[in-house]
Amino acid sequence: MNKELEHQFVTELENNQNIVHKVCTLYTHDRDSHKDLFQEITIQLWKAYPKFRGESKFSTWMYRVALNTAITLYRKSKRRVQTQDYESVIFKIKADEYDSTEEEQLKLMYKAVKQLGDIDKALVFLYLEDKDYREISETLGISEVNARVKMNRIKTKLRTILNP
């Protein structure tokens, strides 16, 4: 039974691993901590998996566990060296898809998002993942109104970072 559960879990996570990678990308600064955080999220997901009863989609459930681990449970790695090649691989922008102004704008936006605080990042992440304010507010434990207010403040903050 346990083996079956384990197989089910690993398969689900393998199929949905992009969510975890995206969280790791936002919250870490180098490959090692990316891997470290991915591992911690996997452990937390696995520990909580027996409580996952399939009431919601596996991916929906993952958002909460992954963000909680990144924001609260994960102890930040001592290494804070921001390696250029890590950034460029993750946020690589395909030159042929955009004109150069758009490309430049995107680069600046990704940089600006990385500069935000943990909570702001979580909001932006859920927003980018196309989650509605109800889900954002439930994941973070704040009211829907406050989630909207906070998102507006973040937009202003991003604008300030982009146009100092």
Q: Which residues bind other proteins (CB under 8 A)?
A: 6, 9-11, 13-14, 17-18, 21-22, 25, 34, 38-40, 42-44, 46-48, 51, 61, 64-65, 67-69, 71-76, 89-90, 92-93, 97, 102, 105-106, 109-110, 113, 117-119, 122, 124, 127-130, 138-143, 146, 149-150, 155, 158-159, 162
Q: How far is the CB of 4 from other proteins (least distance, A)?
A: 13
Which DSSP string do the residues of the chain spell out, in sequence order?
Answer: -HHHHHHHHHHHHHHHHHHHHHHHHHH-SSHHHHHHHHHHHHHHHHHHGGG--SSS-HHHHHHHHHHHIIIIIPPPPS-----HHHHHHHT---GGGS-HHHHHHHHHHHHHHHTS-HHHHHHHHHHHTT--HHHHHHHHTS-HHHHHHHHHHHHHHHHHHH--
Closer to other proteins at the Cβ: 60 or 82?
A: 60
Nearer to other proteins, 82 or 148 (CB): 148
Q: Nearer to other proteins by C-beta: 51 or 100?
A: 51
CB of 6 to other proteins, least distance (A): 7
Nearer to other proteins by Cβ, of 81 and 101: the residue is 101
